[in-house]
Amino acid sequence: MRALKRLIGVGGVLLAASATAAIELVPVAGATRVGSTPLPVQASAVTQQGQLISWQLTAAKPFSPGGLARHGRALCLLIHASKPTVVSGKVCIEGPAKGSGTGRLLYMKVTGNTSAPGVGVPATITRTSSRQFGATFLPSSVGLAYRPFYWQVISSLRAAACAPPVRGRQTCFDLYPPHPTRLKLHEPVLVGCQPRGPSLVYHGPSRGREIALTFDDGPWYEPPTIDFLHVLEREQVPATFFEIGRQVAPYDPLGAVEQRMLVDGDMIGDHTWSHPNMARLMPSAQRAQLLNTVEAIRRATGFTPCLWRPPYGAISPSLVKLARSLGLLTIMWNVDPRDWALPGVNAIYSNVVDHAASGAIVIQHFGGGPRYQTLDALPKEIATLRRRGYQFVTVAQLLGLRLIYR
């Protein structure tokens, strides 16, 4: 970008200016060694991976995130959210946080000629060699929505290390690629998940304070399934819904509720076609119960589930093996408030919060009978568990399953 290649001195701080925005090259306190030139970038790519943005970079020389600042250098991803001539933000590689050796990302919003203070970006950082750096993060964490944007990498010297400009030679920064590149970021659509790990699951790992709320026997009308979604959306809590196949089309003819679940970040699982005791069926009937439900969910949403829950918890080793051969993990539970028996809102609430623990899978119901007690207990459960430091995840997240998007 021609305008970006113009260097402007402002109060001893150098700015790399675009048509309407400036990228500040900030001095680093305590930098004892400096590089005479910016770190040369050999290659870089920004792509979409499902819900995430992936930034991959290869330098021409070895480097460490912490060493960038010590050597008076900076390495940032410039974001042009609306047009290639306007920089709206930058994502910079920084030294590692305490206890981490891979580095981290800081995001700075750019307005006019100023950058806002840096904010840490939740990201997965990878380093496959001393010259390579990779990071994946949500677009929202760097000020982006799921729509096209432009990007460019700026490798620069901090102000204290930057020599005066020399005619015909850039001494303060390099851009890669030379012109901003467009990425057509699109709204991701969840189409499946990949089973991994044990075929039979009662709970998740206990090392983190995570809990999975699950609901069986829907979709339903007492109360309408959408009422459960309203509570979960308001509380920003994901859940896992195990659905009965023959109820999907009658209770949600257009698949609107199921599609909304997926957009919200919820997970949908298979709860058989007609809710039989699966352990008493012949293998051919078991297979039909599972596959017919998979197809009903796929028709409604375009999503192929990889989780199933046996009605009544009735299983056998051969049934678990069959389900796995069909791409389905058998998901049981370890917290059961017996809400199907309508014991009362307080009884349901107390049972859940008293037995909750890290890695718990909580079973409740959103169908198969009037579930107003379950719905009324839900906000109290969420509030108490959140106050105790628990985070809510889907079963797929609890088990670390890979989600498939298109």
Exposed e or buried b for every residue in 390-399, given b needs 16+ CB within 10 A?
A: bebbbbbbbb
Q: Are 328 and 270 in contact (CB under 8 A)?
A: yes
Which DSSP letter does residue 77 get? E
Question: Could you confirm whether 365 is annotated as catalytic?
Answer: yes
Q: Are 320 and 308 in contact (CB under 8 A)?
A: no
Distances (CA, A) of 177 to 57, 101, 143: 12, 28, 22
| Cα 367–chain centre separation | 29
How far apart are alpha carbons 32 and 49 in whole angstroms?
39
Structure tokens at 102: 């891979």
Q: Are 175 and 152 in contact (CB under 8 A)?
A: yes
Of 80, 203, 271, 365, the active-site residue reads 365
Which DSSP letter does residue 112 get? T
Question: Could you confirm whether 270 is annotated as catalytic?
Answer: no
Question: How many other C-beta atoms lie within 10 A of the C-beta of residue 85?
Answer: 16
**52-59: strand order across its sheet:** 41-49, 52-59, 132-137, 123-126
Identify which of 243, 219, 267, 215 has the alpha carbon closest to the alpha carbon of residue 374.
215
Residue 352, classed as helix, strand or coil, is helix
How far apart are alpha carbons 132 and 258 in whole angstroms?
41
Name, in order, each residue with C-beta under 8 angstroms of 81's C-beta and a sequence gap of 6 or more. Answer: 88, 89, 143, 144, 149
Distances (CA, A) of 404 to 20, 51, 302, 305: 39, 10, 12, 11
Of 71, 203, 216, 270, the active-site residue reads 216
Give the ranges where 21-166 is alpha helix by DSSP (H). Answer: 65-70
Identify which of 189, 204, 190 has the alpha carbon closest to the alpha carbon of residue 329.
204
Active site residues: 216, 365
